[in-house]
Amino acid sequence: MGKILNYLWRFWLILLAFVLTIIFGIPVYILSFNKKHYKYAYQFIRFWSYGMFYGMGLRYELINLSDQMIDKNTQYVIISNHTSIMDIMLTCILYPHHPICFVGKKELVKIPIFGTIYKRICVMVDRSSARSRADVYRRCAEKMEEGNNIVIFPEGGVPDDTSVILDEFKDGAFTLSSKHNSPIAIHTFIGLKEIFPFDNSKGYPGKVKVYFNGILPASDSPKELKTRAFDEIKKTLVDHIN
């Protein structure tokens, strides 16, 4: 009975995504053709994200582990751990004043309905192509010059082994921060791995905890940034388990 309810819940996701994409996806599609209008398109993306997140019975609690605050006039590279497709919607909800662009794998464009929005707000990368990976920096630089903030999940994807607490970080977010002198805003998402996993037979409505770990200033050493960010998120995850 539990699996049947899960599949019905996921079927509701498809219906919800279809309706919300029709309502909000059309203005996003039209506005995003003009780079100057993306900040308006982003508000429709946020409405879509709210509808998807809350419409699936999800909630979140924001916990600040730092005395730092997000400055609405500062451009950031935003990172977090990655465990669910809902990480994307949640990040949009968290940033009302910072139009964001995701760096993500192009395979997600194939997801029905969701892919329509995804490809308008994302710098897509083919992780099997060295040329595509190298070109990400140029395309992200263009997005930042247009006033966008970049969101990267530095694990590079969701680990196949669900027992992995935090996978090894890739260099991209930290190289980008160093090259463009942009601080890194760090978040830790806890609960989405269980509440809304990629396994369609699992999951349930519930509350997610979002920890704001703070902001790392840009540095000439991407390696140091990567180590510090990894340690921050890993510590938060381990402390939660314990």
124-144: per-residue pLDDT in tens? 887 777 787 778 888 888 888
Average confidence (pLDDT) over 218-230: 95
User: pLDDT band at 218, cuts 50/70/90?
Assistant: very high
3-7, 159-163, 209-213, 230-234: which has the minimum mean pLDDT?
A: 159-163
Task: Please say if the pLDDT value at position 1 is more than 50.
Answer: no
Name the more confident of 192 and 131: 192
57-61, 88-92, 132-136, 206-210: which has the minimum mean pLDDT?
A: 132-136
Q: How far apart are the first and last CA of the chain?
A: 32
Write out the DSSP string of 20-81: HIIIIIHHHHHHTTSGGGHHHHHHHHHHHHHHHHHHTTEEEEEEE-SS----TTS--EEEE-
Average confidence (pLDDT) over 112-118: 68
Query: Given this model, what pLDDT does residue 145 score?
Result: 87
User: pLDDT band at 113, cuts 50/70/90?
Assistant: low
Q: Which CATH architecture describes the domain 2-241?
A: 3-Layer(aba) Sandwich (3.40)
Name the more confident of 56 and 124: 56
Query: Given this model, what pLDDT does residue 140 score?
Result: 87
Name the more confident of 129 and 50: 50
Select the highest-mean-pLDDT range: 26-30, 113-117, 121-125, 214-218.
214-218
Give the domain ranges of the chain.
2-241
Q: E strands within 118-196?
A: 122-125, 149-152, 184-190
